[in-house]
Amino acid sequence: MIRKVLIANRGEIAVRIIRACAEMEIRSVAIYSEADRFALHVKKADEAYCIGSEELDGYLNPHRIVNLAVETGCDAVHPGYGFLSENPELAAACAARGIVFIGPDADTIRRMGDKTVARKMMQRADVPVTPGSEGNVESLDVALKEAERIGYPVMLKATSGGGGRGIRRCDSPEDLRRNYERVISETTKAFGSAEVFLEKCIERPRHIEVQVLGDHHGNIVHLYERDCSIQRRNQKLIEIAPSPQLTPEQREQVGQLAVRAARAANYRNAGTVEFLLSDQGEFYFMEMNTRIQVEHTITEEISGFDIVQKQIRIANGEPLPFTQEDVKISGYAMQFRVNAEDPKNGFLPSYGRITRYYAPGGPGVRIDTAIYTGYEIPPYYDSLCAKVIVRGRTWAELLARGRRVLGDMAISGVRTTIPFYREILDHPDFIAGRFDTGFLQDHPELLNYSLKRSHDDAALAVAAAIAAHVGL
């Protein structure tokens, strides 16, 4: 039985896992760098240990993490997302030391992390994939020949990539020549691999992903889909569950494809199968993420399942206590990734001290965060401040609640993406549920916040200052 879990992560996902453990009466162990000494996950865990003075080294050292898990009497390690969550070395190190890894085994992570291997696996399982190179392209000359065969535009992708990095669209041989070395350099720095491959670029797709759960008893189910089409440079910004753009038939189809993909991978634990949906209504497998997703929250809101707790129970050897027929969803949920970035200045990071933080509340509102008033956002990690999740019975109610919540929320001391999201929610195409991955590119005017918004923000700041002065 899992009684004590080391969380190999930081920030809001570490806090999220700590809360799941607390409800299951499982002790939690946090790790932190010197830069994170005053982080919220350090305060919330039952135990916390400094993993190193370097900002990143400790979080990226699998053997140091597993050694600490053994020394502190942990039964399991939860990797969260990012960092080592899709690194097979951490899963293998856990297995070698008798520690349960809360995720799939190292071999599954390795196979699904190699996108060319994953593509071939999906083809054998009759899961449609986008046309592309048969394997990695080993030189620019080979890439140019493959691109000519596939037909421009093409996507040049890192084989071991993820999180929107190591991807470039190429519309011509000149684009491919210009981007080839850039992608090689980026993927080598980010993932330690120089391998790349080519895929046909699906024009104006919608990004649809499906949450799956698989146990150690052969049971695999899906918890329906999320629409992640609102993104910038392949980085997700707003996620919605279920997608307002799918028909019931498409919803059933993509769910079945995801289960087929997970079964082909002999998948165990929580995972996400990502697809592109073309204008012609065709789904194409893109990749499988072998970890908890940032946006798992909205699936929890519409399904009623605690996915992190399900991860722990599956890792504990428990069978899923329900079948696909038992999975029901209700209403809509939307997540806003509130980042410490300046949308008006090219989304440059805005690190610094949070001088005032006001979290919204009310029905259908959930905030997953690790910030607090006085917290200083360090410049060494991603810029995520908070995940703002809203739920509504209908699409119209969801939009209204989202506007209200983003209007209520206040973070002072750093610039954030909150005003940008307010503009998106008011756009007629978004309101009508008409959007794809090119939405922000098509609507650059969304960055031109209205004068009224500026006045509203100023009034909110004044009100917060007055409240602080009188001790409200």
Active site residues: 291
Please tell me whether residue 235 adopts helix, strand or coil conformation. strand
Q: Give the integer Cα–Cα distance in Å for 244 and 408.
A: 25
DSSP tally for the chain: helices H, then strands E: 16, 22
Please tell me whether residue 298 adopts helix, strand or coil conformation. helix
Q: What is the dihedral of CA 51, 53, 54, 60, to 10 degrees?
A: 0
Yes or no: say if 105 and 94 are a contact pair by the CB < 8 Å rule.
no
Please tell me whether residue 404 adopts helix, strand or coil conformation. helix
Do you find a cis peptide bond into 153, omega within 30 degrees of 0? yes
What is the CA 214 to chain-centroid distance, rounded? 19
Q: Give the integer Cα–Cα distance in Å for 375 and 354.
A: 6
Yes or no: say if 198 and 157 are a contact pair by the CB < 8 Å rule.
yes
The H-or-E segment that residue 391 falls in is strand 384-392
> Among all chains, which residue has been given the structure tokens 């699409």?
395
Nearest to 334 by CA among 235, 411, 405: 405
Yes or no: say if 392 and 404 are a contact pair by the CB < 8 Å rule.
no
Yes or no: say if 462 and 410 are a contact pair by the CB < 8 Å rule.
no
Q: Give the integer Cα–Cα distance in Å for 468 and 465.
A: 5
Please tell me whether residue 167 adopts helix, strand or coil conformation. strand
